[in-house]
Chain A
């Protein structure tokens, strides 16, 4: 146990049991972004899967929205320590988007409008673990929350769920993205509390 804080009692709730270590519950939806919010018109939106050299798949908004969608209800965990339980999204599974892509890549870099990037092992984007989400709580995703579409990878800290996502680059080795180059953990598993570089 750490140093006791004299006179601190804190608040405990039954929901704490469902939270990863060091997280607290919020019912708000705080926003964490490094810069201005990009506003991307739908007629200029596109999503590209590439291997760093060649474009493998490409969608505009219309063709993207013709893909089969799923409703996803998941808990999300921000590295700034808030967690939100039972959030409801609609999106397209990355499995669907990678279905016709043949690759032996091990990792992926998600790329966003506004030049944000974040890296993930490719296996974390597969097997019903990741989506391109365009609706939250039954409404179109607001720009400050990553609209028109964001990556949703709820089993990792939420910075991995890149806002304003515009594509995925497949890679044969891992490479740090934006926050991962600025002191945050390369993988970011909330249940192992991998917040900062140097965390186990």
Chain B
């Protein structure tokens, strides 16, 4: 069933990513980690649909936030990040997905690993934890190209400061902040060893990012003795080797 959402706010996260807040009056609610289908329809009736992860925590006021990264040759993401204006209406279907989700009843340690815009469903989990006043121990390892590519920067800082409730580690792959101790590099065994939960605490791990990122991060988690059944993954984009 398709529902009409009205854009009530727009916020640029980076130069290429925008958060869109929809008000959906009959929204049935969602669980952190789920996604929605978004349908765009042109005036001649042509329509197309894409799936986007929900960034907002479950709430009761019918608000759904998506953060969309603009793809250079995308059909939909340039429209959503550049054309869409407050007051516009779009069709949404969902929420969808029952696997890559974090429920507020979960109390075990949680390891989140994000590559680029893979932070979006993980942010929904972090926000869900905060709004439910959960005390589940959370760690986030967030890999970005450069400091300017971080989504939700201030909010993440605030959440990690408050009683150190979410411990956050950043990894930079192309350019680091000034005086950063680690040269630009991809996630590796040292970083996993130093910043993620030890496997003897049996964390549930959620990994989201481009396919090649997820492949290497999940392989590293397994190399550090995390059980395969404790690792949930969501991949997007091409594999990188076949174009």
Contact = CB atoms under 8 A, between A and B. Distances in A.
A99 interface: no
B201 interface: no
A115 B242 CA distance: 27
Counting chain A CB atoms within 10 Å of each CB, the highest count among B2, B47, B79, B89 belongs to B47
Contacts of A80: 51
Contact of A9 (B42, B98, B215, B232): B42
Contacts of A182: 97-99
B48 A36 contact: no
Interface residues on A, range: 35 or more
B105 interface: no
Contacts, number: 109
Nearest to A24: B48
B227 to A, nearest CB: 10
A137 interface: yes
A3 B239 contact: no
B47 A28 contact: no
Interface in A10-68: 10-12, 22, 24, 27-38
25 contacts: A1-B45, A3-B41, A3-B89, A4-B41, A5-B41, A5-B88, A7-B83, A9-B42, A10-B46, A10-B47, A10-B48, A28-B237, A30-B236, A30-B238, A32-B235, A33-B233, A36-B218, A36-B222, A36-B228, A81-B50, A114-B228, A144-B215, A182-B98, A183-B97, A196-B96
Interface of A: 1-12, 22, 24, 27-38, 80-81, 114-115, 137, 142, 144-145, 179, 181-183, 196
